[in-house]
Structure 1
């Protein structure tokens, strides 16, 4: 068995908040190993909506999810993070010297003074609508995420759902699709007010059709090629929507996976933390981003960024117990990479 990799901090999750944790730790001269179950860096931003515009990142009026990840990777690069992708963290144990041993599904091990859980929604997958035969269409004309907007150019698209993803993609695809129809069981949407205003404006201009109040009822097509989406009212009234593609946005099914067995204080599928330090109830284990919860928590990337900074400062005395930490602004200290 290969010797474990020794580092200062092991970060579980390579999404935007996990990447910024690398930067914040690096600024305090702490090395990081980053583990992620996906085969690519970026978490949900890359796996589910790489081209989706994000509007609430400071100094960026609009930035695509993939653009944000590229910038965060570049920002973390001077600190030479060790990315371990395509593997899940499956074990956590404490060594006699107090360090934490993290074991992965690939059989490797990481020894660290601290572990930061930045796993977003944990192990995630889309909530699928209960439609007969939907499996035959998945990946061909039924999708749960948009990888490339151009793939829907000139197509008749039906979007089902009432949250941010459904509303944002309806607004975006209205620019390229031949037709966009939004199916939702009620007239009220659970999305950012500004996005709903844009959607309503497009509907008023006839660029988006609002199919409300309806819900998905069935699919018509052959060999995975969609011809129409059947929708129905709560009274059972059925209508058919001609369609080349169906996008279903009903949220994610979230599971903590093996993390749930670590003895952490949990609130359903979230980890409770001290908001001042992002520490969990397990010494040396911290949580940041969407997976972390505390009173007043907002599930925003920018709040996850703030938590990454607080966690890094709380971790520093664990890595350097004999060194006092003197707070400095980045404009004063600059960015100095960690030597190999």
Structure 2
């Protein structure tokens, strides 16, 4: 994996904002077309939500992988772009975009300056954070890890009493995923109806039956936390009618969704709809020529919010960018089997043949 670049001025063919799965694969597709890239992300690591929120959660709809953990997917994508030595600016937030198609200038909140001929926005839903329940003393329990909003390591909950709060996919998925690891799981929701795929609901019903590993407590909401010095002892829940109940617990996992913010990107004048950037379906170009958007942040008729769709969009954007960077060179489409392995001296996308690798700008 290429090292994180310190505050600097960089020149690249393509600046990719967002280093989640879609951004990482876009860097690969660009590399195969002799387009040098730089990755910029507000997180301190690549992988986006896959790395930050659920690295051990299995994903079932990645082609050729019946199941692959999110963290393993990110590692494989990193390995795939390793031959291109893609630099990345992590823990940085893009604050400024100036210029036009073929000559953009971007600035980060750390003072970095990036000059690029095209831009790909692969920012997912933008910068994200958990929606926290309004409970007294919450911060103390967050600091000790008694209250968490993401599952980074499943083994951390081995033999623990868990209270999981929420009624959507994340709450149900993790209740089912952790049922064989935790000592006991109590699933709290404000109503008896859950929001998830029918298959998962059927699994939940089976797991929450008599003697099952999951106990459903509905319709209840979180009311208070009880413990000492940030160490959780029990979670108090209540109904709208005021009935209360205490549940012994070592950890509370609260899944109430994420608050997301595109930040300065939303001020760039790009045509948008419902907080998503509208793009041309055939190229993923936005209303600003030379700026493209892929992955969850992009929208168009028929859009599916799937990682594999983001991969496809990364490929389309890279091919649409090629004539911007190489206006006098025809792009003859070839399959990767014809191009050769990335990094091999004869491969058109290899470092040996790349004519526009990202580089520090001259002072």
Task: Give the TM bin, normalised by the shorter chain.
Answer: over 0.9
Contact 2:296 2:305 survives alignment (8 Å): yes
Gaps of 5+ in 2: 1-6, 343-349, 358-363
Contact 1:33 1:81 survives alignment (8 Å): yes
1:9-46 CA distance string (max 9 Å, x none): 00001111110101111111111100011111111111
Residue 112 (structure 1) shift: 0.8
The CA distance in 2 between the partners of 1:35 and 1:241, in whole Å, is 43
The two structures have a TM-score, normalised by structure 2, of 0.89
The two structures have a TM-score, normalised by structure 1, of 0.95
Q: For residue 257 of structure 2, what is the aligned residue in structure 1? A: 251
2:65 paired residue among 48, 60, 63: 60
Q: For residue 20 of structure 1, what is the aligned residue in structure 2? A: 25
Q: For residue 271 of structure 1, what is the aligned residue in structure 2? A: 277
The CA distance in 2 between the partners of 1:94 and 1:292, in whole Å, is 22
Contact 1:254 1:269 survives alignment (8 Å): no
Contact 1:290 1:299 survives alignment (8 Å): yes
Residue 195 (structure 1) shift: 2.5
The CA distance in 1 between the partners of 2:167 and 2:341, in whole Å, is 43
| 2:213 is the counterpart of 1:207 | yes
The CA distance in 1 between the partners of 2:102 and 2:319, in whole Å, is 19
Q: For residue 133 of structure 1, what is the aligned residue in structure 2? A: 137
Contact 1:159 1:170 survives alignment (8 Å): yes
Contact 1:31 1:338 survives alignment (8 Å): no
| 2:267 is the counterpart of 1:261 | yes
Residue 335 (structure 1) shift: 2.9
**Structure 1 range deviating more: 233-242 or 156-165:** 233-242
Q: For residue 222 of structure 1, what is the aligned residue in structure 2? A: 228
Residue 295 (structure 1) shift: 2.2
Distance 1:139 1:269, change over 3 A: farther
Residue 117 (structure 1) shift: 0.6
Aligned-residue RMSD, C-alpha: 1.6
Residue 3 (structure 1) shift: 7.4
The CA distance in 2 between the partners of 1:187 and 1:64, in whole Å, is 30
| 2:348 is the counterpart of 1:335 | no
Q: Which has the higher contact order (CA 8 A, sep 6+)?
A: 2
Q: Which runs of 4+ in 1 moved over 4 A?
A: none
The CA distance in 2 between the partners of 1:231 and 1:67, in whole Å, is 37
The CA distance in 1 between the partners of 2:182 and 2:273, in whole Å, is 41
Alignment of 1:172-321 (within 5 A): 172-204=177-209, 206-321=212-327
Distance 1:3 1:63, change over 3 A: closer
User: What is the aligned residue count?
Assistant: 338
Gaps of 5+ in 1: none
Q: For residue 146 of structure 1, what is the aligned residue in structure 2? A: 151
1:156 paired residue among 135, 157, 161: 161
The CA distance in 1 between the partners of 2:198 and 2:291, in whole Å, is 36
Residue 60 (structure 1) shift: 1.1
1:114-168 CA distance string (max 9 Å, x none): 1101011101110111112211211320001111111111110011112221111
1:170-211 CA distance string (max 9 Å, x none): 111111100011111223322233332222222125111111
